[in-house]
Amino acid sequence: MSVVEGGGGPGVTTPRGFEAAGVAAGLKSTGRADIAVVVNRGPLKVGAAVFTGNRAKANPILWSQQAIEDGVVEAIVLNSGGANCFTGAFGFQTTHHTAEKAAELLGVSSGDVLVCSTGLIGTGDEVFRAKVLDGTERAIAQLSDQGGPAAAEAIMTTDSVAKTSACHRDGWQIGAMAKGAGMLAPGLATMLVVITTDAVLTAQQADAHLRAATRVSFDRLDSDGCMSTNDQVTLMVSGASGVAPDADAFRSALIDVCTDLAVKLQADAEGASHSIDVQVIRADTEDDAVEVGRAVARNNLFKAAIFGNDPNWGRVLAAIGTTSARFDPYAVDVEMNGVRVCSDGGPDRPREEVDLSPAQTHVLIDLKVGEASAIIYTNDLTHDYVHENSAYAS
């Protein structure tokens, strides 16, 4: 597999059969692009999606959950600069009007158009609606098979860089774009992700592959323990390659693309100075490994220690001791950036040997009870994170 790095890759327009565009509709005070459209030109119009686990769902989520039920997706419209969440009946009507506008211009059914929004919760008025509809019309007028980068930039909020990825296999491809830089917690994260492929898949296959991929990638991205109202990951299938790939090969490639994007989201988390991979090995079950890793990833004392370049492994043991996973706390080993600082629940190598100055930090927790493992992706807790989120609505 080859992965397209950075924001310069074509992303969602890498596979055949897709066009995209991104335009500025005035939703952002910066004047940057804020409306993106991705269209599937077929011949297949298959779609699958997974959504936030938050019970408080934004209007676009409520709409898209209904629209995806038949497994058909012709297009997706995304806006940044406003979450359209907790905006009442007016907000849902805005989402409905957006799908209708796109459907009218594309000559498709509005029920086959998904909608995504991201931004501040609780805001939305006639001006917002007018800008979204105008931006949708202008984006559709600019659709191109080279429009992937512009679309990726249009969905950014507090992101510092656009995030795209692509996989090239024999005869078929996967492309993707994502946004997200905060509220990164499982189910999914505060992110919008659009994945495209020109492989031949049924709706049932697309749904199964997508859920398998998100389970081990986006669902294990846990930057700050906060779950968004607008998360959506969509897979669009054009079938334009004419190739029906081996199921295991496609799933493996999709997991690679989703993991690549999850790591890019982790690296761009709001205010973070360290990207921390918490790897748990020799757990009794995979669920235990995830639970232990997540307990560390959500522990503010541990995250603050990493920010201060302090290899305080005691905070790791204290965090995992709160879980219901099966292990003996007094038999656990802990490594930080390759240095085993804890062996059998006691001190090992001197803390001074651990170098936490690099931005990438690896914590290895050996539970010594089984063969299961998992990695949770998180970040440190910084002054900049607090400052940025204290002024988010200002």
Q: What is the reported pLDDT for 182?
A: 59
pLDDT at 40: 98
Q: In the chain, which residues have pLDDT < 50?
A: 1, 4-6, 183-186, 188-189
Strands 163-169 and 172-179: antiparallel
Scanning the structure block, which residue is given the tokens 């170098």? 355
**What is residue 203's three-state secondary structure?**
helix
Domain 11-267: CATH superfamily is L-amino peptidase D-ALA esterase/amidase (3.60.70.12)
**Length of the chain measured in residues:** 394
Q: How far apart are CA 136 and CA 335, in angstroms?
A: 50
pLDDT tens for residues 144-160?
999 999 999 999 988 88
Q: Which residues of 315-354 are buried (b: 16+ CB within 10 A; e: fewer)?
A: bbbbbbeebebebeeeebbbbbbebbbbeeeeebbeeeeb
User: What does the pLDDT read at residue 393?
Assistant: 59
Place of tokens 């199964």: 208
Calculate the alpha carbon distances from 51 to 4, 65, 96 in Å.
25, 8, 18
Q: How far is it, in rounded angstroms, from Cα 66 to Cα 186?
A: 22
First to last CA, the chain: 43
Q: Examine domains 11-267 and 275-390 and report if their fold is the same.
A: no
> In this structure, which amino acid lies at residue 284?
D
CATH, range 275-390:
3.10.20.340
Residue 77 CA: distances (Å) to CA of 59, 118, 388 = 13, 12, 28
pLDDT for position 391? 65
**Rounded-to-integer distance, Cα 299 and Cα 376, Å:** 13
Tell me the three state secondary structure of residue 335: strand
| Residue 190 annotated in active site | yes
pLDDT given at position 347? 97
pLDDT at 1: 47
pLDDT for 4 equals 45
Decide: 133 and 101 in contact? Cβ < 8 Å.
Answer: yes
Q: Within 13 Å, how many C-alpha atoms sit on residue 89's CB side?
A: 0
User: 40 by DSSP, 3-state: which?
Assistant: strand
What is the per-residue pLDDT for 384? Answer: 79
Give the active site residue among 118, 157, 164, 190: 190
**Domain segments of the chain: what residues?**
11-267, 275-390
What does the block give as tokens for 62?
């409520």
Cα–Cα distances (Å) from 182 to 31, 33, 123, 154, 222, in that order, read 22, 20, 19, 17, 10
Rounded distance between C-alpha atoms, residue 77 and residue 140, angstroms: 10
pLDDT in tens, 90-120: 999 999 999 999 999 999 999 999 999 998 8
pLDDT value of position 5: 45
Q: For 93-149, give the secondary structure using H, E and C.
A: HHHHHHHHHHHHHHCCCHHHEEEEEECCCCCCCHHHHHHHHHHHHHHHHCCECCCHH
Phi and psi dihedrals of 155, rounded to 5?
-95, 0
Q: Are 219 and 147 in contact (CB under 8 A)?
A: no
Nearest to 350 by CA among 317, 296, 299, 313: 313
Q: Across the beta sheet with 275-283, what order do the strands follow?
A: 346-347, 339-343, 333-336, 360-366, 275-283, 372-379
pTM over 0.85: yes
pLDDT at 3: 54
The predicted pLDDT at position 6 comes to: 46
SS3 353: helix
Q: Spell 270-280 as b/e; 16+ CB within 10 A means b.
A: bbbbbbbbbbb
